[in-house]
Amino acid sequence: MAMAPRIWVMKALFLLLITCSALAHPVIYQDGWVASTMVMEDMTDAQAGFSFTPRWSAGGNYWRLRNAQGEERELWLGKLNHLAYRYNGEDSQANLYLHAGYGDGWMAGLEADWETRQYFIGAKQLHLGQREFDTDVWVGRVGYSPYVAPFEGLQSWVMLQAWHDRYSAAETKVGPLVRFFYHNVLWEMGATFQGDLLLTLMVHL
Amino acid sequence: MKWPLLLLLSFPVFAETVVVGVKGMVCSMCAQGIKKKFGALSAVTKVDVDLDRKFVTLQTAGQVEDATIRARIEEAGYAVTRIERP
């Protein structure tokens, strides 16, 4: 039993090295690669993708979900992401993304965000399934950046996240996190009020 | 007598500064794509992104067409508001 957490951490670190997923950035600039992973105790969402146009990206997606009985489900999916709508404003940007994946299970979902240099709001709704298993995942976030960083500077955010996964828990997990990005790397650290830790790493290449 | 002529020819003929107004640049991480897209052009020697004033300044060593600039900004996911050559 003592080995289980260590194995979980090693798995998470391995996935951090090879992949990447936080809210937003499923499609980036044309010919750009994005890798991301978000890890919580009961969940891992890891993705790697290539944007072959500014509107479409394709890649892989790994999911790990654990329920209250300790049973784990894993999904390995090929995934297609579509930027269905983007609003480029003077001081803000808004996006609507559609997701579809298929492999040893399936997934479909949508994601929307709006941000300025100091405010962020976003939400994601996904349906994941496998034989004899399916679940819905919902994520919502609001964020505030206490200062406006220059292009080459370190940008910092304070965010509040709400997470609901029907398979892992009946309750919605809510908690604060801090987000930083510097050049092409984004990382987040946070916790839910239920005591779960959250780590995110994202890289644009 | 040939040296002044050779020296003159060694300078880039179309070197210029181009200022490109861009809408939607609110995330510095996402805007890194602009540097990457223009960095891939051999005629562009320097790219400066100014999020406060919402423009990108290009230093070029050759002619870069407006259509190329627009295409690169759109490939990066943004919209061009103006292109100026001060």
Q: What is the pLDDT of residues A47-58, one digit of tens each?
A: 999 999 999 999
**Residues 10-69 of chain A whose Cβ lies under 8 A from any Cβ of chain B:** 25, 28-32, 54
- pLDDT band (50, 70, 90) for residue B20: very high
The CATH number of residue A183's host domain is 2.40.160
Pair B49, B43: CB distance under 8 Å: no
Contact A29 B33 (CB under 8 A): yes
- pLDDT band (50, 70, 90) for residue A24: low
Test the A interface: residue of B20, B25, B27, B56 with most A CBs within 10 Å: B27
- Among B31, B22, B18, B19, smallest CA distance to B60 is for B18
- Among A147, A16, A93, smallest CA distance to B30 is for A93
Tens of pLDDT, residues A81-110: 999 999 999 999 999 999 999 999 999 999
Sign of CA dihedral A44, A48, A52, A53: positive
Question: DSSP letter at A14?
Answer: H
Contact A86 B24 (CB under 8 A): yes
Give the nearest partner residue to B24 out of A31, A88, A186, using CB atoms: A88
Token reading at A63: 């999911």
What is the structure's pLDDT at B27? 87
Residues in chain A with CB shorter than 8 Å from the CB of B36 are 29, 32
Tens of pLDDT, residues A158-182: 999 999 988 887 789 999 999 999 9
Question: DSSP letter at B13?
Answer: T
Using the structure block, give the residue that is written with the tokens 């399936």.
A106
Q: Where are the alpha helices (DSSP H) in B1-86?
A: 2-10, 28-39, 66-75
- pLDDT band (50, 70, 90) for residue A7: low
Question: DSSP letter at B65?
Answer: -
Q: pLDDT at residue A19 above 60?
A: no
Give the count of Cβ contacts less than 8 A between chain A and B: 76
Q: List the single range of A8-22, A63-77, A105-119, B71-85 with lowest mean pLDDT.
A: A8-22
Residues of B with CB under 8 A from a CB of A: 23-24, 26-34, 36-37, 49-52, 54, 74-79
The pTM for the full model equals 0.84
The percentage of chain A sitting over the pLDDT mark of 70, rounded to a whole number, equals 88
Cα-flanking dihedrals φ and ψ of residue A82, to 5°? -130, 125
What is the C-alpha separation between A136 and A167, in angstroms, rounded? 8
Contact B24 A116 (CB under 8 A): no
Report how many domains make up chain A: 1
Question: DSSP letter at A166?
Answer: T
Contact B23 A186 (CB under 8 A): no
What is the C-alpha separation between B36 and A32, in angstroms, rounded? 9
Closest approach of chain B CAs to the CA of A151, in angstroms?
5
Structural domain boundaries enclosing A78:
3-204
Mean pLDDT computed over every residue of chain B:
88
Q: Which domains are seen in chain B, by residue range?
A: 12-84 (3.30.70.100)
Q: pLDDT at residue A20 above 50?
A: no
Interface check A148 vs B, CB under 8 A? yes
Sign of CA dihedral B59, B60, B66, B71: negative
What is the structure's pLDDT at A15? 45
Half-sphere exposure (Cβ direction) of A10: Cα atoms closer than 13 Å: 5
**A95 pairs with which residues across the strands?**
A86, A113
